[in-house]
Structure 1
């Protein structure tokens, strides 16, 4: 087959290098961060029913409404610091913000069992809110790092790979939680394991993490030139890498392509967190699965989700590098797979019975598995629109997405007053399907990958109005 000259320069930088090390560390960072988020989802089953695991530990008598408050506590804090987190990551760099966030959050994870013992659900709620506040900069920091490290042609592969840490952390935590809770460590061990793993990551990240190629002393000159010449960013002189620039807030919040990302990300957030938080309860009360089986079955959909992410990344690279589709089509194609294919399984879940537990788990595996395709859709679109403000865009969009994460558990607590009534769960699944359908429809109609003018300083915008600007190695822009 004849070589495509468009990608010859990208092939030269395709070796395993420093950018892959950084992306792998970001992957692990998201893994431990999400382990801290989901640990309560399984642990709370044991906390409310000591006979389901090791009976030697405390049991709490919380109502379903109180349980919903506790489960939503993390997100009350999390959505508040998304926008400030993006600004801080832009100013100080992604490395330091990830390090501070995950380290302090891990300490709180270790203190969670003590907080329950001292202050019951109220102090637990406060700790979860504080964890959310601290972790608010994680996604904006991740996008800031990726915008500096990952060339445009690799965003669909190694860029998206970083976000599989979300599923991997969920899979590992859910899979081992039941075993830990049944062991001599009891349900407190779930929080100790996630906290200690996070501290270990932070130690390694301190020594080998870097906000950009210019900050990394072990990168080769060849790879550094490859990365920096490929990225569509405003040139900065040495030592000014993290110098703050004025954020064009009005242009950002009135930009139709960005508003579509915001809606899509909010829709995804509603579905993702509704399922992640509520699956253990749904499996226990509707499918009648004990906590060990529950934990394993709850993790299975996210294991498939992670595996399919790798598959979708490979398909995406194959289609784009052979010019079968362009970048804009790719974003909309995979977003459609991730949003619309789960709609039918979601609706069917509302009609499952206890004797159909295998079918119900199969539906969960299907809908959560293909949901991963959306990571190649809206989730990398922020960097397409504005490499310079990718962290800020992620902060704003994730703020709204996690506002949904606060509202979703509360809606479940309001509607599902009887956890054994499948009809009440049916309403939750219908609402989630509706979010997925509308979110993707708007993304298909209005989504773009063209770099927006407000990505550049005013003086560069004026230059671009008079000359045709063609970035080195940049892909063809799609309107």
Structure 2
């Protein structure tokens, strides 16, 4: 009889340091970065499209009103909201690999067609193209969550999920930092659509070759790594084969306190993040006299910091959980608090900055956005904790609600800030953004699998290792058996 601790240690030593689960996460990160670049590219390209004096004048210029510009920029998110929940359901039925492939491939083709669409159909066709891109990318996060739930051992769930979603910051940094150079190059502003689109199609080819829904469907995963994952998830691979698809327990989900707390945390995070993303440039220019949009590198600095801190937090969470220093629930609460509560201080402080303190304001802005990466190891991964079977569906639901919140945030700013040069009005916005963050997750958040995850269990349980696994090494080969 082998103890649980000995079994876990043996599996860890037998599994490769960089395994197929790490390759899956790396590829998801790169694909997500290309998708995010396709999401934010129009925000920087539209500047050159409406005023090519600071870019390459050989490319067409469009004279759109601010109202038309707002419609163009928001069209992506109108499509994005529609496919969140259906994306979660589809991910369970057809698998995350196919859904992610379709989402990124379609979005890439549409990105390549965008310059042609503008010249042929004007802003209306551009809005339609962006709507379709959002409609396709709405399935992205449910698909990624479904894949992470299948590929990550419980103790690595935070870190692997964090690595996957760090692609969002990577894509944002690259497109913002390179926008000025690309706009002025011989390729002009269309290159902001061509390059991410081409990268997305190249990624799709690689994903067809190396992507997989789960370890059971991946022929190249080692026996040791497959056993490590299935052992950690407290499942046997054979139990998954032929298992009927469970119906989504809608009523149980909407009456679940952990889910409702998770939903509110996701909405709070989106409110703060999109308030900063959409309104801080205006605040910096109007109140502090610092136009960060004119400096591509300065615009990318907060998101570069977020990317770097995210990569630093992932191994930290991995170490704390794998060494059993803290439980999964404590880890989620710790990183969620770091990501949501530390910005409270910096946001309030930012509201009291003067024009003479603009450099300090940039530092506070960078720190506020950067620390948000910790929250992704809290509420973001918590969907998989609560229900591995319905993780994609759950993230689709909370992501839809969070985007409603992020859409309301700019409207609140427009209602409160009637004079963009009035620091007191901006201070109200920062206080609202700071205190929309709440303590509910600290008190009621949990990493326990909920009873509605599997209708056959009827009880809340913690994921624990199986009792008997024998690891044998001989002649350089590793064999695992129960």
What's the TM-score, normalizing by structure 1?
Answer: 0.88
Q: Which residue of structure 1 lines up, in the alignment, with residue 142 of structure 2? A: 140
- Post-superposition offset of 1:291: 5.0
Q: 1:108/1:429 Cα in 2 relative to 1: closer, same or farther (>3 Å)?
A: farther
Contact persistence 2:81–2:400 (CA under 8 A):
yes
Q: How does 1:259-278 map to 2 (within 5 A)?
A: 259-278=260-279
- Post-superposition offset of 1:30: 1.1
Moved more, 277-286 or 95-104: 277-286
Q: How does 1:46-57 map to 2 (within 5 A)?
A: 46-57=48-59
Q: Which residue of structure 2 lines up, in the alignment, with residue 42 of structure 1? A: 44
Q: Deviations over 1:165-201 (max 9, x none)?
A: 1111111111111211122222221111111111111
Counterpart Cα distance in 2 of 1:108 and 1:412: 32
Q: 1:104/1:26 Cα in 2 relative to 1: closer, same or farther (>3 Å)?
A: same
* SS of the residue 1:341 aligns to: helix
Counterpart Cα distance in 2 of 1:166 and 1:469: 31
Counterpart Cα distance in 1 of 2:153 and 2:331: 17
Q: Deviations over 1:1-25 (max 9, x none)?
A: xx97585256333621111111111
Residue 86 of structure 1 pairs with residue 88 of structure 2:
yes
- Post-superposition offset of 1:323: 3.6
Contact persistence 2:151–2:214 (CA under 8 A):
yes
Q: Which residue of structure 1 lines up, in the alignment, with residue 32 of structure 2? A: 30
- Post-superposition offset of 1:281: 5.2
Q: Which residue of structure 2 lines up, in the alignment, with residue 393 of structure 1? A: 394
The number of equivalent residue pairs is 462
Q: 1:87/1:55 Cα in 2 relative to 1: closer, same or farther (>3 Å)?
A: same
Moved more, 399-408 or 131-140: 399-408
Identify unmatched segments of 5+ residues in structure 2.
468-482
Contact persistence 1:85–1:141 (CA under 8 A):
yes
Residue 367 of structure 1 pairs with residue 368 of structure 2:
yes
Q: Which residue of structure 2 lines up, in the alignment, with residue 330 of structure 1? A: 331
* SS of the residue 1:346 aligns to: helix
Root-mean-square deviation (Å): 2.7
Moved more, 184-193 or 149-158: 184-193
Residue 194 of structure 1 pairs with residue 192 of structure 2:
no
Contact persistence 2:11–2:227 (CA under 8 A):
no
Q: Which residue of structure 2 lines up, in the alignment, with residue 343 of structure 1? A: 344
Counterpart Cα distance in 1 of 2:26 and 2:252: 34
Q: 2:126 aligns with which of 124, 127, 134?
A: 124
Counterpart Cα distance in 1 of 2:377 and 2:41: 27
Q: 1:101 aligns with which of 100, 103, 111?
A: 103
Q: How does 1:198-213 map to 2 (within 5 A)?
A: 198-213=200-215
- Post-superposition offset of 1:321: 3.5
Q: 1:357/1:342 Cα in 2 relative to 1: closer, same or farther (>3 Å)?
A: same
Contact persistence 2:386–2:449 (CA under 8 A):
yes
Q: 2:113 aligns with which of 94, 111, 119?
A: 111
Q: How does 1:382-461 map to 2 (within 5 A)?
A: 382-412=383-413, 425-435=426-436, 437-438=437-438, 441-458=439-456, 460-461=457-458
Q: Which residue of structure 2 lines up, in the alignment, with residue 215 of structure 1? A: 217
Contact persistence 1:140–1:394 (CA under 8 A):
yes
Q: 1:100/1:469 Cα in 2 relative to 1: closer, same or farther (>3 Å)?
A: closer
Counterpart Cα distance in 2 of 1:473 and 1:270: 42
Counterpart Cα distance in 1 of 2:46 and 2:417: 17
- Post-superposition offset of 1:121: 3.0
* SS of the residue 1:211 aligns to: coil
- Post-superposition offset of 1:116: 2.6
Moved more, 54-63 or 139-148: 54-63
Contact persistence 2:386–2:448 (CA under 8 A):
yes
What's the TM-score, normalizing by structure 2?
Answer: 0.88
Q: 2:172 aligns with which of 167, 170, 173?
A: 170
Q: Deviations over 1:68-97 (max 9, x none)?
A: 332222111111110000000000000000
Contact persistence 1:69–1:410 (CA under 8 A):
no
- Post-superposition offset of 1:420: 5.9
* SS of the residue 2:388 aligns to: coil
- Post-superposition offset of 1:125: 2.2
Counterpart Cα distance in 1 of 2:371 and 2:217: 37
Contact persistence 1:64–1:417 (CA under 8 A):
no
Counterpart Cα distance in 2 of 1:137 and 1:78: 8
Q: 1:19/1:235 Cα in 2 relative to 1: closer, same or farther (>3 Å)?
A: closer
Counterpart Cα distance in 2 of 1:75 and 1:316: 32
Moved more, 399-408 or 143-152: 399-408
